[in-house]
Structure 1
């Protein structure tokens, strides 16, 4: 693996941990340095940081807040 890629991964803890959990990426980066963009994409998907995943999580949080508010309103009555 190129030293620049290694130092980049050391600075990005999320990518570093992703590679530790998926060692095939270490081998892939050792063979092809240009696959760093693909690694970032896969890492975002793994950690749930893509836009659709974040929107779904926000929607679930809003539903939870609505449910709590309705329960609190029913409790007061």
Structure 2
């Protein structure tokens, strides 16, 4: 792997962890170091950090709070 890429990855522990879980990326980055931006996007998907994944999580939390409020209202009566 290119020394510059390795140095960059060492500053981003989540990328190193992603590569450990997906070892094919060692090969991809060794052959084409310009795929760093691609690995960053894949790591975001892996960790659930994309905007759509965050919105989905917020939506689930709002639904959960709504259900808890309904349950609390039922218990009151």
Shift of 1:43: 0.8
User: What is the CA deviation profile of residues 5-29 of structure 1, one whole-angstrom value per residue up to 9, with x for unaligned ones?
Assistant: 1121112111111100111101110
Q: Does 1:58 align with 2:58?
A: yes
Give the equivalent residue in structure 1 for 2:4. 4
Stretches of structure 1 lacking an aligned partner (at least 5 in a row): none
C-alpha root-mean-square deviation of aligned residues, in Å?
0.9
User: What is the CA deviation profile of residues 22-67 of structure 1, one whole-angstrom value per residue up to 9, with x for unaligned ones?
Assistant: 1110111011110000000111111111111111111001000110
Stretches of structure 2 lacking an aligned partner (at least 5 in a row): none
User: For residues 12 and 72 of structure 1, what CA distance do their matches in structure 2 show?
Assistant: 44
Q: What is the number of equivalent residue pairs in this alignment?
A: 77
User: For residues 67 and 59 of structure 2, what CA distance do their matches in structure 1 show?
Assistant: 12
User: For residues 26 and 10 of structure 2, what CA distance do their matches in structure 1 show?
Assistant: 13
Q: How does 1:1-77 map to 2 (within 5 A)?
A: 1-77=1-77
